[in-house]
Structure 1
Amino acid sequence: MSQSIKSIMHQSLQKILYFPITKIILGIAICFSIFIVVQNFVLKPILYSLVSNKNVADPIIHLVSVFVLLFSYYFFFRLFEKRPVSELSTKYFPKEIFGSFIFGFLSIALSIFILYLLGNYHFISISTENYAVKLFTTLVVAALIEDLFHRGLLLRELENWLGTHTAIVLVMLLETIHIFNPNANVLSFFVSLCWGFTMSMLFVYTKRIWLPFFFHLGWNFAQPFYGSNLTGLNNLGTIIQAKFEGPELLTGGKVGIENSIINVILLLSIGVYFYYRARKEGKIIARKTVH
């Protein structure tokens, strides 16, 4: 085989391997596979043999799994693309951890406060008996999986390939998988689109996963904290026992407070604000033109 043919084949293979869709598929397949294998075939057998109480063992498994997922993602793209994995940069880590968690939590708190003023939210009692650390660490794992792959991988690759606007639209459509959550309705579809837009803008503005991830975590933690269902689930524990009453458009019904029209407006406002900031600071990537 001549040197020129080998060179052409090598270039073709490189184009296929480094094509955005290929990188997305490889990133999800390899990193998620490592996560699943380590969690189910290493961590669970070891921890369950050492700790009989699953309420103690599971939080440890969840937290270690978080680091396994982050490290597998970091080292895969560090070695595969030979680049700094800037989407996991910890340059502003403390600020983005606490600031965005509080931001997400207070966003739900604001909705609850508005419902309270309208007479649609009634405080009953407060107790930690119905909430366990295991429930919180479950939220951590779920939020990380979504934000690492949806924002850190999918949005990042699509943005660099197709431009920010097209990438956001595609990720917004992906977020509509949430309509398959328990008790979802027509409004859930629009909530999912708003969620996809706002979470995308949190990533586009920082180019790191921490702002969307910790906002997501604060947002999800606050809902059962205030006695609401979370995406249709009512088994994630509560700290404040409360009663919601009134039109589903305001309370979110069985889906939970995130399905309230108040939160649709709130999410859109946050997303538009960060879009404005990103555009003003030149962080919107234009679609590359083909000559």
Structure 2
Amino acid sequence: MHGYQLAFTTPTQAPRWQRWLVFSPVARIAFFVLLVVALSMVFWVIPHGPADSLLIKGLREFGFRAVVPLLAYLLLVKLIERRPVAELSLRRLAPDGALGLVAGALLFSAVVGVLWLLGSYHVVGTHPDAHWLVAAVTVGLGAGIGEEIMFRGVLYRMTEEGLGSWIALLVSALFFGAVHLNNPGATLWAGLAIAIEAGILLALIYLVTRSLWVCMGLHAAWNFVQGTVYGIPVSGTRADGWLVSTRSGPDWLSGGVFGAEASVVALVLCSLTSAALLVVALRRGNLVPPRWRR
């Protein structure tokens, strides 16, 4: 007896041309990309100038990072899939979002704790005037909402519909790692580490919970705690943290200039968490087989 759920299935009465050009995963991914491009153009026409405050610039960045993909996703679901957006149900926002926030904060704190015990993480001062609000809006919520919509809500979910959970896990994780290769200080190892520790972990969270709120909360808290609390670069981006810190030791341990996400400590702890989630998914029968086996 299976326990898997699919948010969308192609209507059985749909003609053949609609199955390929409207309802297929590839077609819907293409629609999503076009909607993102169109909505992004709207944000470009909003006037701004060199005198804009840091917060205004942060809000504009939040619009591009989070509001655009969220609106594109809602339009896709309502206009093409024509179903309730169960994975973004408002009644699940508070409990699922809180669960994700707590999990993300605890998981990254565990990474820092192990690095400190191994003599790699050092606090050298404090910075109480750090721009935490801008970081929370952009690197935290902006990245958490936008990237989870794109990589779990769209890429993972739609790949899973056709090719099943195993291939969807691999594809979404590889793409997630690949987009981080453009970040400052990124290496092939950093991209692979992001793919394994975050790409697979976040996809498994969606697989088990079928809630994007949990994924968004964990992603946002991980980024915020990493940069604003512990003062560690977030995927290569310099952090303005409450704690002023340094990391020592070889790059495979400290993560180097990319940050602790490229550390073997983060890789191991996140992989252990992923393994536990996979066990839960297997016991519940959550894994979706490919379409030709359903």
Q: Same fold (TM over 0.5)?
A: yes
The 8 Å contact of residues 96 and 211 in structure 2, kept in 1 or not, is answered as: no
**Corresponding residue for residue 207 of structure 1:** 210
Q: Which amino acid aligns with 1:112?
A: V
2:259 aligned with 1:260:
no
1:46-85 alignment, distance < 5 Å = 48=48, 53-62=52-61, 66-67=66-67, 69-85=69-85
**Corresponding residue for residue 105 of structure 2:** 105
**Corresponding residue for residue 154 of structure 1:** 155
1:221 is aligned, of 221, 224, 249, to: 224
Taking only aligned residues, the RMSD between alpha carbons, in angstroms, comes to: 2.3
1:15-34 alignment, distance < 5 Å = 15-16=19-20, 17-30=22-35, 32-34=36-38
**Corresponding residue for residue 12 of structure 1:** 16
Give the C-alpha shift of residue 244 in structure 1: 1.2
Give the C-alpha shift of residue 132 in structure 1: 4.3
User: Which sections of structure 1, spanning at least 5 residues, go unmatched?
Assistant: 1-9
**Corresponding residue for residue 183 of structure 1:** 185
Moved more, 277-286 or 64-73: 64-73
The 8 Å contact of residues 31 and 76 in structure 2, kept in 1 or not, is answered as: no
Structure 2 CA distance, aligned partners of 1:62 and 1:11?
41
Structure 2 CA distance, aligned partners of 1:54 and 1:91?
35
Moved more, 122-131 or 237-246: 122-131
- Structure 2 length normalisation: TM-score? 0.85
Q: Which amino acid aligns with 1:179?
A: L
Structure 2 CA distance, aligned partners of 1:220 and 1:61?
19
Q: Which amino acid aligns with 1:41?
A: V
| Structure of greater Rg | 1
Give the C-alpha shift of residue 282 in structure 1: 2.1
SS at match of 2:257: coil
Structure 1 CA distance, aligned partners of 2:184 and 2:68?
29
The 8 Å contact of residues 56 and 134 in structure 1, kept in 2 or not, is answered as: yes
Distance verdict in 2 for CA 1:73–1:272, change over 3 Å: same
Give the C-alpha shift of residue 179 in structure 1: 2.7
The 8 Å contact of residues 164 and 284 in structure 1, kept in 2 or not, is answered as: yes
Distance verdict in 2 for CA 1:28–1:240, change over 3 Å: same
Structure 1 CA distance, aligned partners of 2:146 and 2:186?
21
Offset from partner CA, 1:146-185 (integer Å, 9 cap, x none): 1101100111111111111111111122123123322223
Distance verdict in 2 for CA 1:233–1:60, change over 3 Å: closer
Distance verdict in 2 for CA 1:60–1:87, change over 3 Å: same
Give the C-alpha shift of residue 290 in structure 1: 6.5
**Corresponding residue for residue 142 of structure 2:** 141
SS at match of 1:283: coil
Give the C-alpha shift of residue 209 in structure 1: 1.3
Distance verdict in 2 for CA 1:146–1:68, change over 3 Å: closer
Q: Which runs of 4+ in 1 moved over 6 A?
A: none
The 8 Å contact of residues 152 and 208 in structure 1, kept in 2 or not, is answered as: no
Structure 2 CA distance, aligned partners of 1:57 and 1:28?
26
Aligned pair count reads 275
SS at match of 2:252: helix
Q: Which amino acid aligns with 1:143?
A: G
Q: Identity of paired residues, percent?
A: 23
**Corresponding residue for residue 5 of structure 2:** none
User: Which sections of structure 2, spanning at least 5 residues, go unmatched?
Assistant: 1-13
The 8 Å contact of residues 231 and 243 in structure 2, kept in 1 or not, is answered as: yes
Moved more, 178-187 or 277-286: 178-187
Structure 2 CA distance, aligned partners of 1:60 and 1:263?
30
Distance verdict in 2 for CA 1:135–1:200, change over 3 Å: same
Give the C-alpha shift of residue 285 in structure 1: 0.7
Determine which structure has greater relative contact order: mean sequence separation of CA pairs < 8 Å that are 6+ residues apart, divided by chain length.
2
SS at match of 1:123: strand
The 8 Å contact of residues 74 and 88 in structure 1, kept in 2 or not, is answered as: no
